[in-house]
Structure 1
Amino acid sequence: MAEELVFYTNPMSRGRIARWMLEETGVPYRTEIMTFGGTMKAPEYLTVNPMGKVPAIRHGDTVVTECAAICAYLAETFPEKELAPRPNERGSYYRWMFFAAGPLEAAATNRALGFVTPAEKSRMAGYGSFGDVMDTLEKAVSASPYIAGDRFTAADVYVGSHIGWGMGFGTFEKRQAFADYLGRVTNREGYRRATALDDEVMKQMQ
């Protein structure tokens, strides 16, 4: 008997990234919708994620939090879906997934909060400057059709989601290379299914 896969999320959160990844795998899962300041902070859920945040997944006895980790875990756990990197793709796959989880998210968050790293202290920030991050990301998405090479992988779910959110909320610069890459990675049935599911949950919540 297959181990149950439970997805804890809220459609107004980074849970949309994990939802997209789940839909790309095509494996069955059960969704638990969590509320901000409510069920996310309840003792029961804090045993899943002590941070009291979503998304998280429980696969049998295994719990995984953090979107990048969820994407990587699902790709490796269901290899038949071919979303994990092949040997020649591993360098780019892990490089850009962790770049998005680290420098990219930090730079975008600080920008959204109105924080600008003083030029003389840029070496203290892991990402240097916001401009450095945007230039580096542009080069990454322009080097090949997908972030790890010529085919779609779980890293595209993660990097593509960041670009989609950043351009949508104005925390990223709207560069043509970003728009072109985003168009490629979101032109997929998995993305459309995930978006439709989360949009429907949002309607129900309202």
Structure 2
Amino acid sequence: MLTIYGVYRSRAIRPLWVLEECKAPFTHIPVIQAYRLTDSTAASAALNTAMPDYLAINPLGQVPAMRDGALLLTESLAICLHIARKYGGSLGPTSDDESSLMEQWALFAATAVEPAAIEILYTLRDGQADTATGQGIIRVAAEKLKRPLARLEAHLAPQDWLLTRFTVADIMVAECLRYAQSHSPLLDSFPNVARWLTAAQSRPAFQTVWAKRAAEPE
């Protein structure tokens, strides 16, 4: 059976969302990030990314990771694509062209969206948004996102989803963009993107995994 390692408060939420959408059976092992623990080496410490048993799975000490038979993957978007192809039905590609499009959107999410979006997330999370330094970081990061958001805005103008239906592509891009979502002015100039993101996050599967995320300790 497919196994996912990682807590919901991590990039593991991406493949966990895909799995919730397609209702595929899986085993979930909630490995927490070591940096979130006071002492990740303590005997009482929760299963975490610094433990030797987990480092044997992912030497980078990051989550998520996935085992599916003999296959081991340690990149969240590659895991999402694998699950969608193998178990996802309409979430996955129905042709070689669709497979290529989904791979393109995964790379777009990882390279054009996530780096700047996560700068915004960290700045807000660390309580720096009201400082001059924090405001500068957010301003620069938001500027970096304008071009990819303009690309999304035009693409979504005539359609509801990134492909002809809701797919893993929407999950991957939406999850990377979510990191910047708390900066409310970001989407003001991109109504199609805002509409699409709201629709994706209104899906019952997302609401289920988000509730499980909220139930985990911060």
Percent identity between matched residues is 26
Is 1:71 the counterpart of 2:80? The answer is yes
- Cα deviation code 1:119-164 (max 9, x no counterpart): xxxxxxxxx943322222322333421111x211111111122233
- Cα deviation code 1:151-179 (max 9, x no counterpart): 111111111222333213x2981232222
TM-score (normalised: structure 2)? 0.74
Q: How far apart in 2 are the matches of 1:90 and 1:143?
A: 21
**Amino acid aligned to 1:103:** A
- Cα deviation code 1:93-135 (max 9, x no counterpart): 3322210111211232455562849xxxxxxxxxx94332222
Q: How far apart in 1 are the matches of 2:98 and 2:85?
A: 14
Instruction: Please state how far the C-alpha of 1:91 moved relative to its aligned partner.
Output: 4.6
How many residues matched?
Answer: 187
Q: How far apart in 2 are the matches of 1:41 and 1:89?
A: 38
TM-score (normalised: structure 1)? 0.78
Return 5+ residue gaps in structure 1 as ranges.
118-127
Return 5+ residue gaps in structure 2 as ranges.
35-39, 41-47, 124-136
**Amino acid aligned to 2:172:** Y
Match of 2:200?
185
Q: How far apart in 1 are the matches of 2:165 and 2:212?
A: 25
Q: How far apart in 2 are the matches of 1:172 and 1:142?
A: 20
Match of 2:94?
86
- Cα deviation code 1:63-106 (max 9, x no counterpart): 11222101100011115x22112235345333222101112112
Match of 1:173?
186
**Amino acid aligned to 1:29:** F
Q: How far apart in 2 are the matches of 1:83 and 1:59?
A: 18
Q: 1:31 to 1:58 in 2, by over 3 A?
A: same
Is 1:196 the counterpart of 2:217? The answer is no
Q: How far apart in 1 are the matches of 2:53 and 2:155?
A: 41
Is 1:155 the counterpart of 2:169? The answer is yes
> Are the counterparts in 1 of residues 8 and 209 from structure 2 also a CA contact under 8 Å?
no
> Are the counterparts in 2 of residues 160 and 182 from structure 1 also a CA contact under 8 Å?
yes
